[in-house]
A and B are shown apart, each in its own frame.
Chain A
Amino acid sequence: MDILVIIISLVAILAFGVGLFLFIQTKQLKKTFSKKEQEMGRRMYELAILKELGDRIGYSLNVQNIVDIITGSLHQFIEYDVVSYMLLQPEKIIFKVQLEESVSRKFIDDVKNRMMNSLSALLNQEFKNDQIDEVLVGAIVVDEVEEPVRSFFNIPLVIAGNVVGVLTVADTKVGLYKEEETTILYKITQQASQAVTRLQEVIKTEQGKLNAMVESMTEGVVMTDKDYRVVVANPAVRKTIGIEDKKDITIFDFIDHLEGKFDIRGKLEESVKLDKMLITEEVPLHERYYQIFVSPVKSSLGIKGEEIIGAVVIFHDITHEKELTKMRKNFTSMMVHELRSPLDGIKKMVTVLEKGDIVKDKQTQKEYYGLIHQNSSNMLDLVNDLLDVAKLESGKFQVRPVPNDLRKLITESEQFFQSSAKVATIMLDSVIDKQIPTEIQFDYSRIGQVLNNLISNAIKFTFAGGKVTIGVFLHKKGGEIKKEANGACIAWAPTNNIAELENLPDCIIIPIIDTGRGIAADKISTLFNKFTQIDPVLEFTGMKGTGLGLVIAKGIVESHHGVIGVFSKEGAGSTFYFTIPI
């Protein structure tokens, strides 16, 4: 009957423990992924702006718009029959004439010629009539009005230091444009020109920044226009696809190198047609995995309002995340196995005991009870450790530091392990600095847990005839650790990160020095990581620890605001150390 109660309680504890653990894991995963999607959305937006700005540099509607606005409001300040401008375009010259009053064709031709001459002089270039694109607005041309040009004033239009055209006012009356009028004209055009110049510079700088951003983005970015011509392809995407050396990239380069694993053309078409972002999860490319976003790029500054000007494809490398998910899955299934196996063992033993006809003598009974006890202990240990790790990960792990006697704890821990050290023919002793205070703030049972873990590991990994020493000495900020240790008769000195350790504020340093097999350099970084713990311990000794001891030890030490670490050389032993601030 008792045994059944034990089993039921165990199962209940287990279910709760594992459930809690897995729940916390999933929540964190969800948080990470939704953050990534937000980031992606932001990136899309920034890229849309980049494309937009790209269109605005150089000769564009803007300049003409501005000049139109100027000419449209000039009559408030200056009297004229005709105001006109000539604007240089790549293939032609725009010649727009705004008639306030009717004038003759001759008048207009006169204005035109004067302006052409002016332009030629400014740019040292000949212009021909057939290059001129003429537009007349306002009052109509009336050839009967025979008055010629009697007043004329001409201003060059300059943007970013380049002459882009001329602005002219002309009238049949004489002597209209004196100092006052010409000054106004100068001022207005100068302001306008400066404004446009500044705008262009801002745009250029911003585009430069965004270009740099796209170039440096670790995600691969490729943008196409409506005709699937590649407009932007950053270094990251070139590397992803494998076309780093090519100069001019086309969509076909992408189609070829994607090897059919992702229909980029199809997705671009679909995204534009449906006007929405398409996400393709997990595309394998050249031994890595990518999450691929395809989205239309829209411009809201076009004449027709919002229009789709192209599309963007972003390659988000999820290889690392996939590995983490895999490790997490492996860890979870490993933990479940580590719990289920011993529980199944207990159940089988109980069944055999209940039958009564197989286990007949007291000795065998004792052995059975021993095995059941052992399994239950191991499982409880594992559940406790899993809960500790879960608490650490969710930030809910707490230690309760109160004034305690560290000497006592060290001595107790050493005594506890003397018998297992003897069995393994290992010499175990402790060396405690006389200077350390009698009372120090720390959590007795938790630091005890750290010591148990480090000492048992040291014994496990040291060969017969070896030695394990527990050292305790005082460190003052900036003090030379080697000296401090030697002063306390502890033969130890850190081999790297020395400066970092010496800069630690006043604390107690506790090194646990063994003469064991040492740890390979590449394994050291993964020691305190819960995912890579388990197998190394099993492999070496066949003894099962929970594998989570170091992870929890790190959590405990850091909750005390101390540090934990290891110095080790393969074949020359290891020293795990931790500190308790005072």
Chain B
Amino acid sequence: MEKTKKKILIAEDEPATMRAMADSIKAAGFEVIKATDGEQAVEFALRDHPDCILMDIRMPKMDGLTALKRIRKNEWGKDVCITILTNISDSAKVDEALKDGAFEYLIKADWEVDKIVKKLKTRLGIE
């Protein structure tokens, strides 16, 4: 019996970062859904019900925090795993995000992609 792959939604507007993360996470055995702005992030999350969401804060059209709030308002979205991707200078936004229900935050510049992958595996109980 084939195990269904866990779905990870990545919301990131920078194409190189997105490509690197998506390919690495795919190679680790996950299915990846890509969103390039906040609007798409909300739309795809509610459409595809990913197991975990990696959300960039600064995106065009709708930023990560607003998208986070929208998803949390939804019945399904209340408890889904959401990790904020950010850079160090956004500390005020990070606090707000954690208050709004993000599970944790990762500082983009510090975290290498395999660490992100490791984190995901731990969160979702895979090895």
- Give the interface of A toward B (CB within 8 A): 333, 336-337, 340-342, 344-346, 348-349, 351-352, 357-359, 364, 367-368, 371-372, 374-375, 538-539, 542
Contacts and interface: CB of A to CB of B under 8 A. Distances in A.
A531 B54 CA distance: 31
A61 B127 CA distance: 99
Interface stretch (B14-22, B42-50, B68-76, B96-104): B14-22
Given A342-B14, A371-B16, 4 more contacts: A349-B16, A351-B20, A358-B27, A364-B23
B126 interface: no
B16 A345 contact: yes
B44 to A, nearest CB: 17
Contacts of B18: 345
Interface string B46-87: 000000000000101000000000000000000000000001
Nearest to A345: B16
A542 B15 contact: no
A372 B27 contact: no
Contact of A345 (B20, B24, B87, B89): B20
A342 B17 CA distance: 8
Contact of B60 (A368, A375, A539): A539
SS class of chain A's interface: helix, strand, loop or mixed?
helix
B112 interface: yes
Nearest to B36: A542
Nearest to B88: A340
Contact of A349 (B20, B58, B87, B108): B20
Given A351-B112, A357-B27, A367 B60 contact: no
Nearest to B58: A337
B109 interface: yes
B33 interface: no
Interface of B: 14-21, 23-24, 27, 58, 60, 87, 89, 108-109, 112-113
Contacts of B19: 345, 349, 367-368, 371
B21 A348 contact: yes
Contacts of A358: 23-24, 27
Contacts of A539: 60
B108 to A, nearest CB: 5
A432 B52 CA distance: 59
Nearest to B85: A344
Nearest to A352: B20
A344 B109 contact: yes
B60 A348 contact: no
Contacts of A333: 89
A542 B58 CA distance: 14
A371 to B, nearest CB: 4
Contact of B108 (A336, A344, A375): A344
Given A344-B14, A345-B14, A345-B17, A352 B23 contact: yes
A364 B19 CA distance: 10
A352 to B, nearest CB: 5
A367 B15 CA distance: 11
Nearest to B21: A348
Contacts of B89: 333, 336
Nearest to A538: B60
A351 to B, nearest CB: 6
Nearest to A359: B23
Contacts of B17: 341, 344-345, 348
Contacts of B109: 340, 344
B27 A375 contact: no
B100 to A, nearest CB: 21
Given A538-B60, A542-B60, A375 B16 contact: yes
Nearest to B16: A345
B16 A372 contact: yes
A268 B112 CA distance: 59
Contacts of A336: 89
B27 A348 contact: no
A342 B58 contact: no
A458 to B, nearest CB: 22
Nearest to B15: A371
Contacts of A538: 60
